[in-house]
Structure 1
Amino acid sequence: MLIPGPARRSRWGLRAAALSTVMVAASLALVGPAAAESDQLAVDEISHSKNIDLVANIPRQGPLEGQTHSDMAFWGDYLFQGSYGGITIYDISHPQRPQTVTQISCPGSQGDVTVSPDGNLLFMSVDAPRSDDTCTSSSSNAAEPTAWEGIRIFDITDKANPVYVKAVRTDCGSHTHTYVPGDADTAYLYVSSYSPNTRFPNCQPPHDSISIVEVPLDNPTTASVVNEPLLFPDITGANSTSGCHDITVFPEGKLAAGACMGDGILIDISDPVNPRKLAGVRDTNFAFWHSATLINGGKGVIFTDELGGGSAPTCNEAIGPNRGADAIYDIVGEGDDRRLEFRSYFKIPRSQQNTENCVAHNGMLLPVKGRDVYVQSWYQGGVSVFDFTDRSNPQEIAFFERGPLSDTSLVLGGSWSAYWYNGYIYSSDITKGLDVLKITGLEGVSSANFNKLPYLNPQTQDNFKDTGNRS
């Protein structure tokens, strides 16, 4: 999500801000009686397809009650939900009755989270300048040389009593990060950030790189930045890319894909400390390359366009089906000659109201035998499940959504992330907290239940075998 603030360098940039203004104006001007009034919901009214049910909701609570809730990670029977104010840890051993274990009050947006495979370490992104690296810090300004932003590391060996053990400053902060396994004793975090400015001492142009944090798993207090590889040294011009928003990795295939502002890229991660750009693509229908998911086995990529920064109503007839959407690409060629070939767009078919922010956002593959199925958040467009086995003709097969938070003005909300984990879909809702959804009666999807995951960082992708077993 792109949310500008007075103490923060703009996360929009002039191009994105202008696009957002145009999109909002266009959508407010268009939707009249010609829109699908029959499927427009009342405030907080729930609508869903026959094959998906809401089985639990845990509202925002405690010190994080008023905070924007964001991304998630999973380990064993625990779910870690980030927010702009900290992290909530849930016990999901009974998915229909999640229980709050504890909350970490530690402000700093966006609160992107990952967990180590042994369940002992939790990592959190901070992409808003703070007065220092503590959990009692106050908001600062990116122009301040002493302002801090980057990665926080918590020891969560005791899930009920997390301990903050290390902070690592990274250039331009950490909008998101991706967990990359190294050897048995080491992990790496690929830190994505962007929007440099000559006025910001810790975020200088051109910033055509990412930060790589090395974490010794047995001694995380020594974690540090070990490289800042250039991924866009050959890109120039008014719309040049100055960092990535999100990176997904497929360690088994030594491959990554990055959604990087104006570009979608493929990356060779054979040497995780020295990733290399293999190929890139641009699309005039994409305003902001937001996230990427590698298709099972590294056969392709789903990229998302966060048109309007996540705070505009872009799921309507004014914007149309090809903007603020997903783009599905096949990866063709071998080795260093691999490239991306476009196949189709996907956007939810349900027109949303002008008081609902809606655009493609975070999701993941479902491990369905013999099919390619994706679950995804769309802010107030809800949670969508679509089948893209036929790359040229993706089709929504299930959905869950609520009506707007207001019928008179646009109030920011909806599903930030939606992920499948051990038989259930978990949706982190900006204002509603945590939703748990169950798919039933959908042909082939029951095979996903054979894939029992010991943990899940959604941007660290495994290869789901066609046998229904997790590799």
Structure 2
Amino acid sequence: MAPLRGRRTARRTLLGTLTGMLLAVSTIMVAPAASAQIPGQDEIAKSPNMELLANIPKQGPMAGVNNLGSDWAFQGKYAYGGNYAGFTVYDVSKPATPKVVAVVSCVGAQNDVSVAGNLLFLSTDSSRSDDSCQSTSKPASDPTAWEGIKIFDISNPAAPRYLKSVETKCGSHTHTLVPGGKGVSYLYVSSYFPADNFPDCQPPHDLVSIIKVPMSNPTAAAVIAEPNLFPDGGFPGGTEDPNDVEYTYPTTGCHDLTAYPKYKIMAGACMGDGILMDISNPEKPYVIDNVRDDENFQFWHSATFNNKANKIVFTDELGGGGWATCNEEIGPEKGANAIYEIKGKGDKRTLKFASYYKIPRPNADTENCVAHNGSLIPVKGKDIMVQAWYQGGISVWEFTNSRKPKEIGWIERGPLSTTQMIIGGSWSAYYYNGYIFSNDIQKGLDVVKITDKRTDKGAKVRMPELNAQTQPDYFDLD
């Protein structure tokens, strides 16, 4: 869920290089791929069934090129957009004319968000001097450094109020909300990249941190469990050069987890492993099955169930989101989605590979492009997903036939630059109450409409709330 994975650049090779790419405009001159299919600089190209309805640029402290737009959460008429510098609250009751309601300055990459009731949860995976929104950077090797979860009161969306922080091991790169019933919610915190000189992030770090939140008393939120998901150590990783597309990451934690509370299951994208988990007891999750793909997957990044919970779409964030991987040289199977079918029942369930899906359009060599965050479009009897691909734009695609996925619609901008790599494009593209909302890393909020007989029924499904990593059964809402 992030081109920049955390703050621990001292222990990265590939990702150390990406940090520089993401925190400053690259000065390396790159020749763009030659193709008539690639739109011109900042030019919008799209399929006939897709339309850009609105754009609101990043606001105030969010606007800098280094302050990347990140994840989304939705509640009622409001959309909450994360950014490395904080988060923005939008009124999207009229999607063609959205309005900015509040801009909350709170530095702490990558600031992924989720909402529940009157609370907003914010992930900090950036080693900070303290837990305030005015903190400064501090080395992770310093035992006084802080990172983890921040909790805000959003009972007044126009004036969010910071309530509480919870420190977690290795920070919080992403988090997943799991409803617990009886006024309790759980946050499953994903983090990774431990190091021997980090006092609060020691290897092997094969765990997730579980925070229990009493919803009526959020200041009592605390870590209540740290289950080890990989007692065997997880995938050991490849031995090649990490700057090579053939490199595969060892598992040292999870990048992203997606819960499907109705079925009491969770899918995990955990660097070198894709996992299916049982969360019947949310304080004691356990792994049912895991899969690996050391041939084509470099970094298991995120996961999405289909509505029937018999398939999972895993993504591979090849190059950490900072490479141009949507081209003929990389090909259709690296930096792609992998569709897995769930076979069997109970603890005997297994994951069976079906196919890969990658956008079929080439991108310029100055465009970072790889599979990233998306959500289902709720069409009964069909498996259809909208997905962000950074500067590859937004793709709407169908995987009802697991072995023959196909694109339904798409929209993208041309490269931010034709001579140098500038990190940009759609980070998260989610479908909410009939519209696609994209958090563009550089361009801000995009509202997109798809008009197609294959997806139109999805516009009739109305949801009171959406955290994409906490999947609902869309048709329980009819």
* TM-score interval, smaller chain: over 0.9
CA deviations 1:152-180 (Å, max 9, x no partner) are 00001011111100000000000000000
Aligned to 1:232: 230
* 2:457 counterpart SS class: helix
2:368 to 340, 357, 369: 357
The equivalent residue for 2:98 is 98
How many residues were matched structurally? 454
Aligned amino acid, residue 409 of structure 2: A
- Structure 1 residue 29, shift from structure 2 partner: 9.9
Bigger mean CA deviation after superposition, 444-453 or 102-111? 444-453
1:470 Cα deviation from its structure 2 partner: 2.2
- Whole-angstrom CA distance in 1 between matches of 2:12 and 2:466: 33
> 2:339 aligns to what SS in structure 1?
strand
Q: Given the superposition, is the C-alpha separation of residues 287 and 380 from structure 1 closer, same or farther in structure 2, using an over 3 Å criterion?
A: same
Percentage identity across paired residues of the two chains: 54
Offset of residue 13 of structure 1: 3.9
Q: 2:282 aligns with which of 269, 272, 290?
A: 272
- Which of 416-425 and 443-452 deviates more? 443-452
Instruction: State yes or no: 1:10 paired with 2:21.
Output: no
Which 10-residue stretch deviates more, 230-239 or 145-154?
Answer: 230-239
How far off its partner does 1:3 sit?
Answer: 2.1
SS at match of 1:122: strand
Q: Counterpart of 1:182 in structure 2: which amino acid? A: G
Cα distance change, pair 170–71 in 1 and its aligned pair in 2 (3 A)? same
Q: Does the 8 A contact of 1:2 with 1:11 survive in 2?
A: no
Is the contact made by 1:2 and 1:12 (CA closer than 8 Å) also made in structure 2? no
Question: Deviations for 1:406-426, whole angstroms, at most 9, x for unmatched residues?
Answer: 000111000000000001000
Q: C-alpha distance in 2, partners of 1:103/1:428?
A: 15
Quick one: distance in 2 between partners of 1:177 and 1:114? 8
Q: Indicate conservation of the 8 Å contact 1:130/1:148, yes or no.
A: yes
Contact 2:265/2:277 (CA < 8 Å) preserved in 1? yes
Matched, 1:418 2:429: yes
What amino acid sits opposite 2:333 in the alignment?
Answer: N
TM superposition shift of 1:15: 6.8
Equivalent residue of 2:470, what SS?
Answer: coil
- Of 324, 341, 347, 1:313 maps to 324
Name the counterpart of 1:131: 129
- The aligned amino acid for 1:112 is D
The separation in 2 between residues aligned to 1:397 and 1:65, in whole angstroms, is 32
2:36 is paired with a residue of what secondary structure?
helix
Which residue is equivalent to 1:406? 417
Q: How far, CA to CA, are the matches of 2:32 and 2:330 in structure 1?
A: 11
Is contact 2:9-2:19 (8 Å) kept?
Answer: no
Task: Check if 1:259 corresponds to 2:257.
Answer: no
Q: Which residues of 2 match residues 102-113 of structure 1 at below 5 A?
A: 102-113=102-113
- Which residue type is aligned with residue 362 of structure 1? N
Report if the CA contact (8 A) 1:20-1:312 is conserved.
no
- 2-side partners of 1:139 and 1:105: how far apart? 15
Supply the AA of the counterpart residue of 2:69: H
Counterpart secondary structure, 2:304:
strand
1:197 aligned residue: 195
1:430 to 432, 441, 456: 441
Q: Which amino acid aligns with 2:322?
A: S
Offset at 1:443? 1.6
Equivalent residue for 2:159?
Answer: 161
Q: CA deviation at 1:16?
A: 6.4
Do the aligned partners of 2:4 and 2:15 also contact (CA within 8 Å) in 1? no
Instruction: Tell me the equivalent position of 2:257.
Output: 247
Whole-Å separation in 1 of the counterparts to 2:163 and 2:18: 41
Contact 2:275 2:291 in 1 (8 A): yes
**1:470 maps to what in 2?**
477
Deviation at 1:14, TM superposition (A): 4.1
Unmatched runs of 5 consecutive residues or more in structure 2: 21-28, 238-249
The answer for the alignment partner of 2:115 in structure 1 is 115
CA separation in 1, counterparts of 2:432 and 2:365? 32
Q: Distance in 1 between matches of 2:3 and 2:205?
A: 18
Question: How far 1:12 sits from its partner (Å)?
Answer: 7.9
